[in-house]
Amino acid sequence: MDSMDAHVSELTEKILYLRNNMGTIVDLGYMPEFKEIKQEAQMFGLSVCSCLVCTDPVKDARLFSTAGSRGLETRCNVCLKQENRLAQKKAKERRKEEARKTVNERQVQSSTSETETEVMQNYLVPVLKKEYEIEVSPEFRVSDLSARSRGMINYIQIQLKTDGAFHEDGRPKLDNRSHKEGDVGRAFFHHALGYLLMLMVFIKTRLVDGELKRYIWVAKGSDIKHDTLTENADGTLGPSKIPPSNEQGMIDAIRSMLQNEMYHVSLHDIWMNVPAIKQFKEVANIQALKTVRNVTVPQQNQQAFDCFFDERRIQVKTHNVKSGQAHIRHKKNGIDGQPYSSTDPIDAFVIMSIIKCEIEDEIAFFMLYCEIGMDVMIQNKMVVHEDEDSAKNSSGKKALHLHPGIYEEMLVGCTKERTKETAWLDDYPFEHVRLYEHTDQNPQVHRLTKENLEKVAQEVADSKAMPACMNVNSSS
């Protein structure tokens, strides 16, 4: 075997190994390891094919087409031929199925005793409810919960930081304050800065004789000067030596802050205090839906669904009006970008957008929305569906190409061609409702101010192409 044959053989072995160890990756060409192998091959005038069924994946680089500024195609000329596309498609479907099984079987260590949810639900909220009215914040909000005395209008905000009872591998943490390597029982609290006008509650949980034991520290957010706080050997917390507290200490600290109006915040302001723009858009979308539905939001951490319409569980997805798509993917078992499943607790998907248009030189805001039941999504193979008849199984989709109907020319400036694959969407047309800004003089059920609406509204391509049904004078 000459040196070139040896290089080809070695690189081929690497590619075949990679094919068999793709984990949750569907496309071989996206793997960093594939790109490294490709770079190595180029040193010898070779390239590698990302096609999962290519029988000769390592070959002369001249057998690959040039893909513009991106360099060589990741698939060789043989695999790019039309007659080989069907085998590739089937191989990719098999890979999607394997990736989905990997995600479903993935075990994520998340002991109930190490999560903020466990401390919140099983300890903190029951303790504080004996004395105060408590509101647990939905996901994405800056504060974890809020408290007020009975009869008060506004609340103070509380940020909870926890150190759980178990290590990531499931072993119980030691019940001590030791700093020694291998015998560490002291608590660590991270990301403690940025809560200036809130009460900070730090709770360490340890499993002692089969019972959960809690250690508590309490401080004003303005007194916290370090992002990571460590329990000291004397039982205090952090460089500023925050003293240990107890349940009564928490109750007294809340009472003290409630006596100072500087800390008072309305529940709506707490609700809308979402720093990340992506999450703020999700919150605003759900608020806007209150214009047309009876909406409630679960007070808990991330769920497969976003809110309830009465008792129906709804997942809300944003329609990107420029691309015409809505992403229908989520995090599952710690893996991002996974398609939804028929087993997810969702009754329907609502696809929506908030847009702004010009009407007689005035900016007007609208919500466009449509609702598609989970059964319809299953029927049209948009979500993963397992059936006893494996031939009916679907690996799901990660994006939905929408049919805006009469709104399309306004949104994108033209009317796009329909495909047979998405023709079923014509049975689920968009509807619209005008969103007026919320003010004290003109209150709106969605409670979105003009600043809120400006922050999340998408621009349309051509306001003049607005359907006549939108350009109807209506009172707020």
**What backbone phi and psi angles, to 5 degrees, belong to 409?**
-65, -35
401-418: string of b/e by CB count within 10 Å (b at 16+)? ebbbbebbbbbbeeeeee
Chain centroid to CA 30: 22
Please say if the pLDDT value at position 318 is more than 50: yes
- Report which listed range, 87-101, 145-159, 183-197, 303-317, is most confident: 145-159
Give the model's pLDDT for residue 106: 45
Mean pLDDT to the nearest integer, 337-349 = 87
- H-run or E-run covering 401: strand 399-401
Give the model's pLDDT for residue 214: 94
For 20-66, what is each residue's pLDDT tens digit?
A: 887 667 778 778 888 899 999 999 999 999 888 888 999 999 998 87
- Report which listed range, 10-14, 50-54, 432-436, is most confident: 432-436
- Asked if residue 365 lies in contact with residue 459, where contact means CB atoms within 8 angstroms, the answer is no
Provide DSSP, 263-329. Answer: G-B-HHHHHT---SHHHHHHHHHHHHHTTTS-EE--SSS--S--EEETTEEEEEEE-BTTTTEEE-E
Please say if the pLDDT value at position 98 is more than 90: no
Give the model's pLDDT for residue 475: 43
From residue 268, how far is each of 132, 152, 299, 446 by CA, in Å?
18, 15, 14, 10
Give the model's pLDDT for residue 139: 77
Provide DSSP, 83-135. Answer: GGHHHHHHHHHHHHHHHHHHHHH------GGGSHHHHIIIIIHHHHHTTSEEE
Give the confidence band of 263 by pLDDT, cuts at 50, 70, 90.
very high
Please say if the pLDDT value at position 424 is more than 50: yes
Mean pLDDT to the nearest integer, 392-401 = 74
Beta pairing, strands 348-359 & 312-318: parallel
Residue 360 tokens, joined:
């007689």
Give the model's pLDDT for residue 216: 96
- Asked if residue 197 lies in contact with residue 262, where contact means CB atoms within 8 angstroms, the answer is yes
> What is the rounded distance in angstroms from the CA atom of residue 287 to the CA atom of residue 292?
10
| Start-to-end C-alpha separation, the chain | 82
From residue 9, how far is each of 14, 50, 61 by CA, in Å?
9, 16, 16
- Residue with structure tokens 């000329």? 77
Give the model's pLDDT for residue 391: 44
Give the model's pLDDT for residue 330: 79
Mean pLDDT to the nearest integer, 296-318 = 81
Residue of 259 and 26 predicted with greater confidence:
259
Give the confidence band of 90 by pLDDT, cuts at 50, 70, 90.
confident
Give the model's pLDDT for residue 265: 94
Please say if the pLDDT value at position 372 is more than 50: yes
pLDDT averaged over the chain?
Answer: 85
- Reported for 56-62, long-range contacts at CB under 8 A and 24+ positions apart, including other chains, are 57/12, 57/15, 57/16, 58/8, 58/11, 58/12, 58/15, 59/8
Q: Is 350 exposed, middle or buried (0-12, 13-18, 19+ CB in 10 A)?
A: buried
Give the model's pLDDT for residue 390: 44
> What is the rounded distance in angstroms from the CA atom of residue 407 to the CA atom of residue 369?
11
Give the confidence band of 114 by pLDDT, cuts at 50, 70, 90.
very low
The crossing angle, in degrees rounded to 10, of helices 32-42 and 3-19 is 170
State what percent of residues in the chain have pLDDT above 90: 47
- Asked if residue 140 lies in contact with residue 279, where contact means CB atoms within 8 angstroms, the answer is yes
Residue 37 tokens, joined:
């192998």
Q: Is 347 exposed, middle or buried (0-12, 13-18, 19+ CB in 10 A)?
A: middle
Mean pLDDT to the nearest integer, 161-175 = 83
- Asked if residue 304 lies in contact with residue 194, where contact means CB atoms within 8 angstroms, the answer is no
Give the model's pLDDT for residue 117: 79
